[in-house]
Amino acid sequence: MNYTSHYSVLNKESIDYLFKDIKEDENNLLFSDFTFGAGGHTFSILNRSENAKVVSFDQDPEALENGRSRIENESVSERCFLVDSNFENFKKVIDEQFSDLVKDCGGFDGIVMDLGVSSHHFDSGERGFSFRVDAPLDMRMDVDNSEIQTAQHIVNNYSEEELNLLIRDYGEEKFHRRIVKNIIDKRSVAPIETTWQLADLIRLAYPAKLRHGKIHPATKTFQALRIEVNRELEVLEKVLDQIVPFLKNNGKIAVISFHSLEDRIVKQAFKKLETREDFLFEVLTKRPVIPSKDEVSENSRSRSAKLRVVQRVEQKKNKNKYAQFSKVNKN
């Protein structure tokens, strides 16, 4: 698999946020990259400060294997720790493997998540993420985990209603009923096994005049299946609360999402963090940061990216103002 052509989306913007309020010579900096991929964000952190260490997760063993050799080549192995795990296990992994490091550094200065699959998943046809190549319908990021149900299993075993909800909600696909009808008809004759079989029957479910547009009719359904196979929304919702006690004061969480469902989860979770009383948080991005025109023209996959950042703070600006006000009133 080729990792050299990977574009790291909103890289400078997200890393600038992570380093906001950090002094140049500050020591014991600790970060976590939840989605190592080709290492774009991890290496930007390591290059920004020689005092920075990064614990980087990826559930795709191929991504980590590629990362290991790059870490050796760039002589950063003492500052970069790769973890072969779903980031939903963050707390467990930190408690079991990195508790001394976290203690020495006093917690995490920042967490970055660049969600979803990487370009390599699409580019390497055999993984089943793309309909550009004919391959078994797999779509598992964690290919070593045989307990995860593949896209093939879902397409051939979910009920008609389950498929309708899945493709409607996760794919935001308005022709979901026509697509599911075609799936049910086809699978009653023989199982649907490959990307091209599925893409073809989706194309035929579309009204004839919409079958040859710029975006392939199967795009949204493939997105829905990928989200379901990898439980992408569930793990995202689950992990945000786990991070909170590990953040230093001024520590940030930066999340780059690629579709409205993810972005909604991030936006709401950040709002919820702002209402906590045990730890104080402030959202730094009132509106999500989006890629520049230049970035989109260089890498069209970045066009739907949105970055949101929240920071743990010692005192809330507004809250503080009201606290003083109520003190004055009491006296």
57 part of the interface to ligand SAM, by CB under 6 A: yes
Q: How far is the CB of 188 from ligand SAM (least distance, A)?
A: 34
Query: Which helix (DSSP H) or strand (DSSP E) does residue 310 occupy?
Result: strand 306-313
110 part of the interface to ligand SAM, by CB under 6 A: no
What are the CA-CA distances from residue 300 to residues 211, 232, 308 (Å)?
21, 22, 20
> Smaller CB distance to ligand SAM: residue 137 or 183?
137
> At residue 111, what is the residue type?
I
Token reading at 167: 């493709």
* Contacts with 238 (C-beta within 8 Å, 6 or more apart), sequence order: 88
Among 15, 18, 22, 40, binds ligand SAM (CB under 6 A): 40
Distance of alpha carbon 305 from alpha carbon 11, whole angstroms = 11
Do residues 296 and 2 touch, judged by C-beta distance below 8 A?
no
Strands 247-257 and 306-313, by their bridges, are antiparallel
Distance of alpha carbon 31 from alpha carbon 239, whole angstroms = 16
86 part of the interface to ligand SAM, by CB under 6 A: yes
41 part of the interface to ligand SAM, by CB under 6 A: yes
53 part of the interface to ligand SAM, by CB under 6 A: no
> Smaller CB distance to ligand SAM: residue 38 or 199?
38
Q: How far is the CB of 163 from ligand SAM (least distance, A)?
A: 23
> Smaller CB distance to ligand SAM: residue 105 or 236?
236
What is residue 286's three-state secondary structure? coil
8 part of the interface to ligand SAM, by CB under 6 A: yes
59 part of the interface to ligand SAM, by CB under 6 A: yes
Tell me which stretch binds ligand SAM (CB under 6 A): 112-120, 126-134, 206-214, 218-226. Answer: 112-120
Angle of helix 232-243 relative to helix 260-274, nearest 10 degrees? 20
58 part of the interface to ligand SAM, by CB under 6 A: yes
233 part of the interface to ligand SAM, by CB under 6 A: no
Among 55, 141, 224, 269, binds ligand SAM (CB under 6 A): 141
- Number of neighbours of residue 161 by Cβ within 10 angstroms: 9
- Which of 43, 179, 58 is CA-nearest to residue 113? 58
Which residues from 113-132 bind ligand SAM, rule CB under 6 A? 114, 116-118
> Smaller CB distance to ligand SAM: residue 34 or 131?
34
37 part of the interface to ligand SAM, by CB under 6 A: yes
Query: What single-letter DSSP state applies at residue 174?
Result: T
> Smaller CB distance to ligand SAM: residue 183 or 254?
254
62-98 burial: b if 16+ Cβ within 10 Å, else e: bbbebbeebbeeeebeebbbbbbbbbbbbeebbeeeb
Distance of alpha carbon 96 from alpha carbon 24, whole angstroms = 31
Among 30, 45, 60, 186, binds ligand SAM (CB under 6 A): 60
What are the CA-CA distances from residue 194 to residues 123, 158, 212, 303 (Å)?
16, 17, 21, 28
- Binding residue count for ligand SAM, defined by CB under 6 A: 22
> Smaller CB distance to ligand SAM: residue 142 or 274?
142
* Site for ligand SAM, rule CB under 6 A: 6, 8, 35, 37-41, 57-60, 63, 86-88, 114, 116-118, 141, 235
